[in-house]
Amino acid sequence: MALLEINGIDIAYGKQVTVKDCTITLDQAEICSIVGESGSGKTTVIRAVLGLLPGGGKVTKGDIIYDGRSLLSLNAREWRKLRGHDVSMIFQDSGAMMNQTRLIGKSFVEYIRTHEKISKKDAWKKGAEMLGRMRLPDPDRIMHSYPFQLSGGMRQRVGIAMGMTYEPKLLLADEPTSALDVTTQAQIVRQMMELRDEYGTSIIIVTHDIGVASYMGDKIVVMKNGQIEDQGGRKHILEESSNEYTRKLIGAVPSLGGKRYV
Amino acid sequence: MFDEKDVLLEAKHVTRRFPAQGGRELIACNDINLKLYKGKTLGLVGESGCGKSTFMRFLVWLDRPTEGEVIYQGKDITKLKGRELHEMRQHIQMVFQDPSTSFNPKMKIRDIVCEPLLNYGRIRHSQKDQKARELLEMVELPGDFADRFPHNMSGGQRQRVAIARALALEPEIIIMDEATSALDVSVQETIIELVTKLQKEKNITIGFICHNLGFIQSFSHQIAVMYLGNIVEVMPGENMAKICCHPYSKALLDAVFDTKMDFSKKIDPIKGEPPSPLNVPPGCPFQDRCDKCAAICREKRPHLQELSPGHEVACHLFSKEGSV
Ligand SMILES: Nc1ncnc2c1ncn2[C@@H]1O[C@H](COP(=O)(O)OP(=O)(O)OP(=O)(O)O)[C@@H](O)[C@H]1O
Ligand SMILES: Nc1ncnc2c1ncn2[C@@H]1O[C@H](COP(=O)(O)OP(=O)(O)OP(=O)(O)O)[C@@H](O)[C@H]1O
Ligand SMILES: [Mg+2]
Ligand SMILES: [Mg+2]
């Protein structure tokens, strides 16, 4: 049985249907990459899985089944429990979403303490250790900083550290490495793969980096204009697919020593 | 290849220290010397947290260096104030790394993109609707988005609004801090075609921070590589892959995920601990992670030296004063 089944869902913001007839299934320890057009509904889909659509957003058709039960009928308490233990998310804008007037350490300790009974001191230690694993130098300095004192990529890694603290069964990662240089990105990709290899975590990763999507994904979903345009394995997407948009996308991937505009 | 008379903006010995917890000091930028040439693009790459945004922020008066100056038309612009500063601001625009935090969430997109134009009296209020539509369509967004609020848009859509707003004033210099990292490669291509076209028509100077090496080298005239607050290599934009020689630049190239890579290969990230700006060692900033590190690298800081026209590297391996 699949761990997650997104079954033909439509998602609307107000009256505007934004995502149409989206179906994705994910097995345990499987990684699915979602790529595609900016504004095509990638963030919308993975937010729906976690029941975190912004105001006015709603699943209007279809169902989302996680571990055998429908997520659409969960109440607030059940959602909290699920998000705490089984499913975690790394947000596209995790840096901007942080409380700008609180120390990173304070936010992190609070996050940890909603998940387990642990002293503040131990929670601090655990948080700092997670930051270290994300290749952040001086974890203690980071814990003592406000978000504005960190670089964009450092803030993003704080978000990743939180999302990966409790080996989740399902990790939803929305452009987790878009603000990272390639060497740090390589390290984070490796950490996510290890989460899958060691704990059997299933992952949906949204990314604009077709290289990362191909490296990580057991399958790749291509979205455009609210719909799934194409999907398949790496070979299908990179080489075989005759879908027009997929070809356009792959054709636009910049490469070193490739096309020059100046 | 670059003519000294075309230097538009020059950073000289720019350093930025921040006070850090425990009475320590964090060096975000360390003695940076860089030139931006008229009508050309400088691409800036480097490890997350190495000081790229901190440096670019000096150019748009969001922060001031602790030491050093930034010269434009013979003046140190970091010291401008009042009227002069207001006038100058319209010539240098910036697109921020986190567009969502730079918008007023209560303003409609129409007002956001037209704000700078109204501020500098370039358009009348009655022209706002038309202008907003034009600007949005220029970055491949539907004109109707003018009626939306920033939070009703996707990340990449917001990023394009920020680009449209910066281009609106037709500034002389545009600083783009990872301005396209939330865009799919196809839209990214369209945006860079647009930007380079405007650059040629209006002779715009661009400073571009970006993590995608293939992308940045496709439109940069020069590329600077930064590591732990230091510029370690500056080179012409074409052929970066072939000519770069600093061990850190090479490590960057090795870490690129490519669609033609060997997917069964285990990722082998750069070795060693990530460096700390609180603890910049004497000598070369890259010493602890460099597999060619020699005794001199731990003692003496290498300075940028010219290897060929437009190509400078700060590494003892290439030092003219004698080999390592
Ligand atoms: N809160 C909202 N209210 C109304 N419309 C919204 C809202 N959030 C997103 N949209 C619209 O829904 C569509 C899908 O947005 P979504 O954020 O899912 O795109 P995305 O694929 O994640 O794009 P990107 O790659 O740019 O992040 C977009 O056209 C966007 O304008
Ligand atoms: N206001 C501040 N107070 C204290 N430290 C700061 C401040 N702003 C930046 N720093 C520190 O300066 C260093 C450089 O940050 P900067 O934002 O310039 O990095 P960056 O190269 O842009 O990284 P990224 O690619 O992740 O955006 C970081 O260690 C950061 O924590
Ligand atoms: Mg998104
Ligand atoms: Mg930055």
Instruction: Report the C-alpha gap between B192 and A49 in whole angstroms.
Output: 34
What is the pLDDT, as a whole number, of residue A93?
Answer: 80
For residue B314, give both structure tokens. 């700060």
Task: Output the CA–CA distances (angstroms, integers) from residue B99 to A60, A62, B270, in the order listed.
Answer: 30, 33, 30
Do B79 and B191 share a domain, yes or no? Answer: yes
Query: Is the CB of B272 inside a 6 Å radius of any atom of ligand 1?
Result: no
Look at residue B232 and tell me if it is in a domain: yes
The predicted pLDDT at position B99 comes to 73
Residues of B in contact with A178 (CB under 8 A): 178, 181-182
Q: Pick the atom of ligand 1 nearest to A223's CA.
A: 21
Residue B4 pLDDT greater than 90, yes or no? no
- In this complex, do B218 and A261 lie within 8 Å of one another by their Cβ atoms? yes
Provide the pLDDT for residue B324: 47
Spell out the domain ranges in chain A.
4-260
B102-117 pLDDT tens trace: 789 999 999 999 999 9
Q: Percent of chain B beyond pLDDT 90?
A: 81
pLDDT digit string (tens) for B67-115?
999 999 889 999 999 999 999 999 999 998 877 777 899 999 999 999 9
Rounded average pLDDT over B251-256: 90
Structure confidence at residue B279 (pLDDT): 85
Can you tell me the distance from the alpha carbon of B87 to that of B99, in angstroms, rounded to the nearest whole number? 24
Number of structural domains found in chain B: 2
Residue whose Cα lies nearest atom 14 of ligand 2: it is B51
**Nearest chain B CA: its distance from A161 CA (Å):** 15
Asked if B301 and B229 sit in the same domain, the reply is yes
Mean pLDDT of chain B: 92
Residues B150 and B38 in one domain: no
Residue B119 has pLDDT above 80, yes or no: yes
Residue ending a domain, among B125, B148, B170, is B170
The CB of B50 under 6 Å from ligand 2? The reply is yes
8 A C-beta contact, residue B226 and residue B61: no
Query: Of B170, B187, B218, at which residue does a domain stop?
Result: B170
Is residue B324 assigned to a domain?
Answer: no
Residue with tokens 């994910």: A26
Q: Residues B104, B75: one domain?
A: no
What dotted CATH number matches A4-260? 3.40.50.300
pLDDT, averaged per 10 consecutive residues of chain A (262 residues), comes to 96 97 98 97 96 93 96 92 88 83 95 92 97 93 94 94 94 94 93 95 97 97 98 96 97 90 90
Nearest residue of B to residue A150, measured between CA atoms:
B49
Q: Whose CA is nearest to atom 8 of ligand 1?
A: B152
CATH of the domain at B35: 3.40.50.300
In a domain, B323, yes or no: no
How many residues in total does chain A contain?
262
Q: What is the pLDDT of residue B321?
A: 61
Residue of A153, A127, A158, A150 lying closest to A140 (CA atoms): A127
**Same domain for B118 and B50:** no
Task: Assess whether B86 and B208 both reside in one domain.
Answer: yes
Q: Does B207 touch chain A (CB under 8 A)?
A: no
pLDDT at B1: 66
**Which ligand minimizes its atom distance to the CA of B158?**
1
Q: How far is the CA of A28 from the centre of ligand 2 (A)?
A: 38
| Residue B319, pLDDT score | 83
Residue B323 has pLDDT above 50, yes or no: no
Identify residue B81 by its one-letter amino acid code: K
Q: Does B247 touch chain A (CB under 8 A)?
A: no
Residue B288 pLDDT grade (very low, low, confident, very high; cuts 50, 70, 90) = very high
Q: Are residues B176 and B245 in the same domain?
A: yes
* Helices B185-202 & A244-251 angle (0-180, nearest 10): 50
Answer yes or no: do B110 and B242 share one domain.
Answer: no
ipTM above 0.85, yes or no: yes
Q: Residue B208 pLDDT more than 50?
A: yes
Q: State whether the beta carbon of B280 lies less than 6 angstroms from ligand 2.
A: no
Q: Residue B49: CB within 6 Å of ligand 2? A: yes
Instruction: Find out whether B139 and B157 touch, Cβ atoms under 8 Å.
Output: no
B186 lines ligand 1 (CB under 6 A): no
Higher pLDDT residue, A98 or B213? B213
Query: A with B: how many residue pairs have Cβ under 8 Å apart?
Result: 204
- What pLDDT is recorded for position A241? 97
Tell me whether residue B307 is in a domain.
yes
Q: Which of A40, A47, A53, A221 has most ligand 1 atoms within 8 Å of its beta carbon, as the pocket-test mutant?
A: A40
Which chain B residues touch A145 with a CB distance below 8 Å? 21
**Structure confidence at residue B128 as a pLDDT band (50, 70, 90):** very high
Which atom of ligand 2 is nearest to B63's Cα? 1
Domain encompassing residue B289? 4-91+171-318
Instruction: Supply the pTM of this predicted model.
Output: 0.94
- Beta A202-206 vs A31-36: how paired, if at all? parallel
Contacts of B259 in chain A (CB under 8 A): 210-211, 214, 238, 250, 253, 255
Strands of B89-219, DSSP E: 92-95, 173-177, 205-209
B236 and B123 within one domain: no
> Which residue puts its alpha carbon closest to atom 25 of ligand 1?
A38
Answer yes or no: do B218 and B85 share one domain: yes
Same domain, B122 and B238: no
Rounded CA Rg of chain B: 21
- Sign of the alpha-carbon dihedral angle for A130, A131, A137, A139: negative
Q: Which of B170, B195, B213 is the last residue of a domain?
A: B170
Same domain, B179 and B299: yes
pLDDT of residue A154: 94
